[in-house]
Amino acid sequence: MSLEIIESCVNCYACEPLCPNDAIYQASPHFLIDPDKCTECLGDFDHAQCASICPIEGAIVDELGVALNLPGSLTGISAEMLAKYQAAVEAAYQAALDAKAG
């Protein structure tokens, strides 16, 4: 059994020093978990340490690919709000492109 860090990781280092098994290591493009070392913290802590400090919902998943931190659970930002965010980012990007085109 092992947890996995996926591509939404922002490389903030927060999880790395917490792992009781030293299973987390810096890699490109993002941190990774050595599946041979990870125990999901069983026997050491009640909750997997990496997932307990990770600020990015969905960045750490279990063997079945299920996120330990579900959308909205850490930030309070719902899927609806996230869609609004993406629209705002795209609008800002488009405005920058338009301004550049003059």
Partner 1 sequence: MDLPVINSIPSSGEPAAGGGCASHSCGSTDDQLGHLPEHIRAKVHNHPCYSEQAHHYFARMHVAVAPACNIQCHYCNRKYDCSNESRPGVVSEVLTPEQAVKKVMAVAANIPQMTVLGIAGPGDPLANPERTFATFRELSEKAPDIKLCVSTNGLALPESVEELAKHNIDHVTITINCVDPDVGAQIYPWVFWNNRRVMGREGAAILIEQQQKGLEMLTARGILVKVNSVMIPGVNDQHLAEVSKVVKAKGAFLHNVMPLIAEPEHGTFYGLMGQASPTPEELQALQDACSGDMNMMRHCRQCRADAVGLLGEDRGLEFTLDKIEDMEIDYAAAMVKRAEVHAQIAQELEQKEQERQFQAQAKAALIALRGEPEVTTRPVLMAVSTKGGGVINEHFGHAREFLVYEASGNGVRFIGHRKTTPYCEGGSSCGEGESALDETLRVLKGCEVVLSAKIGFEPWAPLEAAGIQPNGEHAMEPIEEAIAAVYAEMRAAGRLDASIEPQQKVA
Quote the least distance from Cβ 25 to partner 1, whole Å: 15
Quote the least distance from Cβ 79 to partner 1, whole Å: 11
In degrees and rounded to multiples of 5, residue 4 shows phi and psi of -140, 140
Residue closer to partner 1, measured from CB, 11 or 63: 11
Which residues are near partner 1 by CB under 8 A? 10-14, 17-18, 45-47, 49, 52-53, 55-56, 74-77, 81-82, 84-85, 88-89, 91-92
Residue closer to partner 1, measured from CB, 36 or 43: 43
The per-residue DSSP string of 61-100 comes to E-TTS-BSS-TTTTT---HHHHHHHHHHHHHHHHHHHHHH
Beta bridge partners of 25: 32
